[in-house]
Every structure is written in structure tokens, then in C-alpha cells.
Amino acid sequence: MPALLSARAAAEPDHVALLVDGEHRLTAAQWQARASAAAQDLTAQGVHHGDRVGLVFSSWIDYAIAFVAVTSIGAVAVPLSASLPPARVREALAHCGARLTLRSVPATGSSRPLGLAVSPGELAQIIYTSGTTGTPKGVSATHANLTFGLGRLEHSRYFLHAFPLGTNAAQTMLMTALVARPTSIVQSRFDAPGFARLVSGFGVSSIFLVPAMAVALLDGGHPLDEVELIASSAAPLPPAVAQRLSAAYPEATLINTYTSTEAAPAFTTMIYDPSRPDAIGRPSGDIRVDPTGQVWLRSPTKPRSYYGDAMATEATFQDGWVRMGDVGYLDPDGYLYLTDRDADVVKSGAHKVSTLRIEHALYEHPSVVEAAVVGLPHPVMGATLGAAVVTRASFDVRAFLALRLAPHELPTRVLTLDSLPRNDSGKILKRSLRALFEARPRSLPPQTPAELAVAAAWQQLLNVSEIGLADDFFALGGDSLSATRLAALLDVPVSQIFATPTLASLATALPTPASAPAPSARGVGAAGGVELTATQESLLAWMYAGEQTRDAGPISVGIRVRDGFDADRFGWALGEVVRGHEALRMVFDGRTPRILEHCPPEVTVTEAGGVQEGAQLLRSDREGRFDLRNGPLVRSAVVRLGEEDHLIGLAVHHLVFDGASMGVLLHELGLAYSGSPLRPRGDYREYVTWTRQQWRGNLPYWESTLDGAPSHLDPFRGRQVAKRMRSAQLELDLGEAKPLRDKAARHGATMFMALAAAWSAVLTRASGLTDIVLLTPVPGRAKPGSEALIGCLVQSMLLRVDTGDDPGFPDLLARVRRAALGGLDHQFHPFATFYDRHPGASFLRVENWAGQAHLPGLVSEQFDLPRALDAEWPTPDGGPDLQAPELAVVEQPDGRLTAWLLWNDYAFDRSTMESIARMLTDYVGKELR
């Protein structure tokens, strides 16, 4: 580079190389002399070959002198705009390890050239990207990178640009000024009237713009009669803007230039062709589009690289090719079309939406001055589309776009602004734009039949009234259970609800035009016999696996009533509930179920002298007193502590009951006790038949997913040989639920998925194993109306999580999310088959009953009972117990997360479990918040 200036100064010393704002001139001889003097001064200050020197200037002429001075002694220039925030400047200088920062030109040295040898392959500059889509990166360029293929612009006397210092476009113009025939005129800060005055005042024939500058010139109606060449760079010209430019300046040749800071000097150019308004151009060098749509250019010189970032360099620069970060395609004639920036492609459910395509459509409206489209995050996953527009007059944006775009491309949020946030190079700052959307929320109402149908389903399931297109199912209170019911209502997979959680995105994903759903949905033909649910099959297999029968035990709850209480009436009310639910009258002849016509619950009433004694009576009653052959499998103990103080223990055997049934039971029990009528129940047998009909279709998924998975988490550090089992527990406080839920939401996941990721990571750290299998229950009530059923309908799933390669939390969460959504989509399956193959999976339960247990209509509150049972039993085969520790997490009414770590007290010391508990609390505290 210094050699180019030396040759120019020797041949044409009086040539004006730079003319800033039409006033400040720099000839080739002056540039050479002042750069040599500055180089002498830098050498005296101890700047050596290869040192990085920050250039933070607002004066173009001083900057041009300093740039050549630094590079002429073999040092590396780091251009940074003086308008950048000081913190951003400090960050860049620290990143590159700058030895010195120049903010003015040193001029104390001799003007005699130093005569140092600088080769073309040496590093000349590090220029930082704009960081519009992420953290700015320092792009290294050699002298050869900067000087290859510089054009002389022979047809022009002057060329004009207004690119800010510190940008790649400005660097290209500076290099061009070294060799070009015309004088480079620089407008130090762009404004359209002043730019037009420079064109007319100097008879400028070539101008270089970014699209935002072109729009400003067009809107101002500024004459550019002298211009013969209009070159646009930095971002593709929207076709509508290109058409306006062509119409406004028909005598000028309009060129679109496509390159990047990383790719230069590789580029494509295209003279505007109305028959190809969307094309970027034909490449001047090699170009390819890979099967994923990624655009690559091959540099004619050794490619640039990212300074100090080998991993990012490897991803972007490969075998001479440079990944542009754009998605596009080549037509049969070799013209390049871009569909979007890779970082700006919005995953909207099953669709990948091009924001560029929507922006181009917006520019077709005559009132649009500027437009930008971004993906807006939502609480669970993916994005909804937001359009920001600057307009001359208001209009219905969605109605206009609906005539040009597919339904899934229509923005759900529209924001009208006075101007779009841009950086110095004119690029739109989409991160700032998203912040504006967050500050000014707005949601459009549903309009199409599909949108109205989805809204009706949401209202039915979530009990909400006003719903907008941008509203999110999970943000309005939806969870995995209601998602399964919504999926059944709309006839889509459960994963579709997670993939398209906004009303607008879900409506576009419906397979066929939908109508408003009926209030409830019933299953197919009722079964005459009694069929087992998947969980009943697995429980019975577990109970009868060894020589000595084991007992799965009850689902139980304790309640304290501080009110007038009638124990006899309570017993009658419980009997009414049992009479209305077939599952509560079920008994078992071995593994064969029967439903009895009459099977009243057993209710015992006793007194205690204090709370501790009463608690022990409740614990004794719930354990070991169920007659599976004859019943009843529902029992309650009422302990009188005082005139208006009673403890109530309610226990139902797990073979006929699950956690999701407890809320239904307590609700109906309260109604019956108060004398209120009970609502109609669904058909239990019919629903079980429906679930079993799903097994065959879902079986291949589980066979494939669990193929090769370990049967046990073994060996597990600290496990001792134990041939008997007795539960022990340790209670943990995991802190507030909301921060964890919010962080999971930012990664498109639920709190359960985040906890599953945390537990998987802890199991890996505790055991050293990386193929983790978790056993987790889901409510199993997928069809609307099934939420009122009582029974052992819970569906267990085995989630296989790969924790290998030490993934960070986002990566691990993504793996868990894929496993969980796949499981939900295939949740109904013969679980006993797989549990028999993987009996050592770690049990994980995450519960939220949306409130503490109580008896409606009475002053009552939950009375906590220990989660671990007092009973003990032998291992099923007489061999050592290989069961992994279990984790149960409950979101309390006050928003805190309480967890219980449960294990076989014979297999693990308490100290080992305390260590695992610390791992879990540390992980949740550091990684998940």
C-alpha cells in the first residue's frame, strides 16, 4: 500500500487525492510527505513491525495520513470511528491488543520515506464489523487484500461518497483514492441536500451510496443530472427502491455491489436490469450456494480472517471460500438472489420466513419511506414477525401485505416510527428495533377463519377473553397438559403447539381450514371390558417382578381443617365421589382388573393429643393397608385434634390413581360435602381404549429413540451393594421459579425442560456417565374433557439425554427439548415394554397443582406428609439395587421451587446425596438464573 502512494506522488504530485466536504484538499505529494513524517514519529514512539495501532479520527484527511503512516512501517491499523461509544472503542482496542491509539496526526518527523520493506502478505489492518446481528468481530486484512483489483474509474473527474470512517466501505474508498484517476470527494457526514450540492457543484459523475442514502435522495427530489454511475453497497437495494432510482435518473447506470468486510476483495456487481429486479448480480469471481442455501464467495487473494478467533475463522473462511452469512440461490444464468441474512431468517413454526422478502414487499407501497422486519422473541420458542415502517401516510400494512405474501409471512406486530435506528454505515440496528417493539406492545385481533378457530380453542382451554395475533399460548397460562388438549382439538402434533405458540403462527400451521371447536371431545367407541392403562401395566409388572410382591403404594395428601367439620358427612361425600368414578372402584385379581358395582371407601375417625401424633396416624393409615383383590383402594383417616381442628389423610392406591387425579378428587369432594351437584364425568373406559389405540403408531418412535440406551445408570459413584430398598429423602430450596421459567422461555423451552437439563447435568457430574435416561410422568389427559377423569392415566416417558462433549446450558437444554417434544408427540405407548428394558432410569417429577391442597368450602390448608414411604422391600431379582436417585420438584403457591431428592437408603450414604444436592443447587443458581 505505501508503494502505491509513493508511485502516485512521484508521477502526479499535484493530483488532489482527497477533497473533504468540498473544501479540504490533500494532494498525492502532501499525503506522501505527511505520512512519512508521521511514520518517523511513530517509530520514535517505539511502534514496531506488527504492532496494532488504534485510529480514532473524525477528520478524513488526518485519518488518511495516519493510516498510510502506520502501514508504511509494517504496523497494523485498527480503524475506529470517533462517533462510537467509548466503551465500544475500548473493547476493540483491548481485543486486538493495541500498543498505541492515535486521535491526531504526529507531524514532528522528517518527510523523507523510511524505506522499510513491507510485503503484500503482511497484515495491514484489523477492521471491526458493525455487530448488527451479534458481537463485532475484528477482520484481519493484508496489504494484498486491500489493494487487489482497485479500479481507476477512468470515466470520472470526481467520485463522491459519504461512508463513515471505520467502515469497510470507507476503507474501500480510501484505497481507491490511492490509484483512481478522479478525485475522491468525501462528505464527512451524509445529508441529502448537501450531497446533492456537491454533485452539482463539482459535476460529480460517480456516486457511491447505501440504500438508506438512496431513499433520502429520492424522497428529497434532489437533481443528480450530472451523475453517470450510481453504485449501491453495504446492503442490497430493495427492488422497489432500485426501480425508483432508475426512473428518477434514467441516464445513470445503476450498479448493485455485493461483498462484505470478510469477503473483500471478492464481490459481485450487476447493472440494474428491470427484468431481474431482485437479483444482486453476477459474480466477478467464484461464487457458490451450498445445499443449505448459504452463499459463499472465493477471494482472488488469500482470504481475510477473524483476528484472535480461530473458531469463528474456521466457520467463515474455508479453503479460500468466505461464508457471507446470507441465504440465497443462483438462477440458471448465474445471477445471485438473496432471500435473507442468515441471522435474520425467522423460524416461525414449520416455516422459515425471509424478513428481506417482507421488507421488499413493504417498499412496494408508495407511502413507505423505510421498512424493516425482525423476529420478536416469545416466552416459549421461536419468533413472531414484527414490521417497523416509516411512512408518508398511514395505511393497513397487513392488508397490503396479504395481497403479496403467504399467511405465515404476515407480521403480527406493526410499529410506525419517525426513523429506523441505524449505525454509522447506514445499516439498520435490529437489536435496537426489537427493543422498540418491547417498549411499545401492540397485538392485532384474529381475523381469518383459522385465527378465529384457534382463538376459540384458547378461550375454551385457558379461560381468557381477549386474544391477539401476537399473543402466546404459554404466556397466557398454557402448559404441557393444556398443549396436549389443544393439539387434540386442532388435530396437530403436540410439538406443533410448542413450535408455533403465537396465535398467528399456529393458525397458519393448521393442516386444513379449521372451525371453532366443540366444547369437548369424546373418544371413539366405548370398550365393554376393562383395559389397563400403560402405567397400570408397568406398575403391575414392577409389583410382581420378584418372588416377593412389592407394593406401588398410594398417592396421598394431608389436609388440616380449622373449621366446623362433620366426619360422617365427609365419609358420605367421599363415597359419592367414588360412586361416580369407575377407576376408584377398581380391584385386581393378580394382574387382571375388575370394576365393582359398589366399593365404598374406608374412612377411619380417631383422636390425637397433638399434631405430631396425628401426623403419625395419617402416615400409618396410608401405608400397607390396601386389599388389591377386594378393595377398597380409596381410604381416609380423620384425626380430631380439637372442636374445630382436624387432620385428614386421603390416600388412593397408585394402581387406580395419579397426581393429576388429586385435584379432581378434592374439587368433587368439596362440592359433595357442601351439597352441590357434581358435574357429568367422561367415560373412563372409552378414554383408556382411545389411548391404547395410539400405541401401535407410536411404538416405532420409542424403539428407535431408546435403541442402545443403558438399562441402568451404572456404575454410579458412591453406590453400595444393597439387596433391600427403603426410601430416604432430602428437601432442597431451588429458589424462585420465575427466573428459571423466564430463562427457559428465552431458549424456547419450559421450566420442566430446564430442570430436566439441570438434573441430567448433575447426574453426569455425579456418575461420570453421559448417556442419561430420565423417567418422567406426563398427565396423560390429551383429549379435551379428559381433565375431569380420575384414574391411573398418567403416561410415563423415558427421555434419553446426551450430555457428552460437556455442552453449555443452551445446548443441553436444546437436546432435552427435542427429547421432551418428541416424547409428548408419542406419549401413548406400551411403557411397560421399555421400562422393563431400562428399569434404572432416574425418576424426575415436576409438579404444579396451581395451589395447595385443601377442601373447597372449608377453612383448610395443606398438611405436608413425607414424600418417602416408611415401608421397605427386597429387590425384585434378589440382586443389588441399581436404581438411580430420583428428583421431585414442586412449584409452591408463593412461587418458590421446593425439591426432594429421594434414594434407597441402603444403597447410598446420606453424605453422597448431600453432595448431589449441592451440585443441583449450584447448577440452578449459576447456570439457570
Report yes or no on 236 lying in a domain. Answer: no
Q: d(Cα 99, Cα 42) in Å, to the nearest integer?
A: 11
**Mean of the pLDDT values across residues 400-428?**
76
Q: State whether 354 and 444 are in the same domain.
A: yes
Cell 438411580 appears where? 884
Q: State whether 352 and 461 are in the same domain.
A: yes
Q: Identify the pLDDT of residue 67.
A: 95
Backbone angles phi and psi of 890, in degrees to 5: -125, 130
Q: Identify the pLDDT of residue 349.
A: 45
- In 463-500, where does DSSP find H-type helix? 480-490, 494-499
Report yes or no on 324 lying in a domain. Answer: no
Q: Identify the pLDDT of residue 74.
A: 93
Report DSSP letters for 638-700, one per residue. EEEEETTEEEEEEEEEGGG--HHHHHHHHHHHHHHHHTPPPPPP--HHHHHHHHHHTHHHHHH
- Identify the band that residue 517 occupies on the pLDDT scale cut at 50, 70 and 90: very low
Q: State whether 442 and 470 are in the same domain.
A: yes
**Mean of the pLDDT values across residues 582-596?**
93
**Mean of the pLDDT values across residues 356-369?**
86
Q: State whether 673 and 788 are in the same domain.
A: no
Q: State whether 553 and 646 are in the same domain.
A: yes
Q: State whether 612 and 573 are in the same domain.
A: yes
Angstrom CA distances, 733 to 153, 760, 849, 900, 918, stand at 71, 18, 18, 9, 11
Which one of 88, 122, 150 terminates a domain?
Answer: 150
Among 569, 794, 581, residue whose Cα is nearest residue 678: 581
Q: Which residues pair with 851 in a beta bridge?
A: none
Domain region containing 62? 1-12+26-150
Which one of 134, 150, 166 terminates a domain?
Answer: 150
Report yes or no on 284 lying in a domain. Answer: no
Burial class (CB in 10 A: 0-12, 13-18, 19+), 448: middle
SS3 content of the chain, % helix, strand, coil (to 5): 35, 25, 40
Lowest mean pLDDT among 73-82, 204-213, 495-504, 556-565: 495-504
Report yes or no on 303 lying in a domain. Answer: no
Instruction: CATH number of the domain at 748, please.
Output: 3.30.559.30
Q: State whether 794 and 761 are in the same domain.
A: yes
Residue 478 is given by DSSP the state: -
Q: State whether 578 and 701 are in the same domain.
A: no
Residue 427 has pLDDT above 80, yes or no: no
Which of 102-116, 617-631, 811-825 has the highest mean predicted lDDT (pLDDT)? 811-825
**Mean of the pLDDT values across residues 498-510?**
81
Residue 422 is given by DSSP the state: B
User: Exposure string (b/e) for 189-221, b if CB count within 10 Å is 16 or more?
Assistant: ebebebbbebbeebebbbbbbbbbbbbbbbeee
Q: Identify the pLDDT of residue 379.
A: 40
**Mean of the pLDDT values across residues 341-346?**
68
Instruction: CATH number of the domain at 674, please.
Output: 3.30.559.10
Q: How high does pLDDT run on average in the chain?
A: 84
Report DSSP letters for 329-385, one per residue. EE-TTS-EEEEEEGGG-EEETTEEE-HHHHHHHHHTSTTEEEEEEEEEE-SSSSEEE
Lowest mean pLDDT among 10-14, 153-157, 701-705: 153-157
State how many domains the chain has.
4
Q: State whether 656 and 720 are in the same domain.
A: no
Angstrom CA distances, 708 to 356, 465, 795, stand at 44, 48, 22
Residue 421 has pLDDT above 60, yes or no: yes
Q: What percent of the chain has pLDDT over 70?
A: 90
Q: State whether 500 and 547 are in the same domain.
A: no
Q: State whether 743 and 673 are in the same domain.
A: no
User: Is residue 237 within 8 Å of residue 209, measured between CB atoms?
Assistant: no
Q: d(Cα 389, Cα 185) in Å, to the nearest integer?
A: 32
Report yes or no on 175 lying in a domain. Answer: no
**Mean of the pLDDT values across residues 415-429?**
78
**Mean of the pLDDT values across residues 826-843?**
91
Report yes or no on 874 lying in a domain. Answer: yes
Instruction: CATH number of the domain at 52, please.
Output: 3.40.50.980
Q: Identify the pLDDT of residue 496.
A: 83
For the question of whether the overall pTM of this predicted structure is more than 0.85, the answer is no
Report yes or no on 570 lying in a domain. Answer: yes
User: Is residue 507 within 8 Å of residue 454, measured between CB atoms?
Assistant: yes
Q: State whether 672 and 774 are in the same domain.
A: no
Report yes or no on 306 lying in a domain. Answer: no
Which one of 121, 150, 179 terminates a domain?
Answer: 150
Instruction: CATH number of the domain at 416, please.
Output: 3.30.300.30
Residue 835 has pLDDT above 60, yes or no: yes
- At residue 202, the 3 state secondary structure works out as helix
Distance, CA of 188 to chain centre: 40
Residue 495 is given by DSSP the state: H
Residue 750 corresponds to which cell in the numbers above? 419450559
Distance, CA of 179 to chain centre: 48
- Identify the band that residue 13 occupies on the pLDDT scale cut at 50, 70 and 90: very high
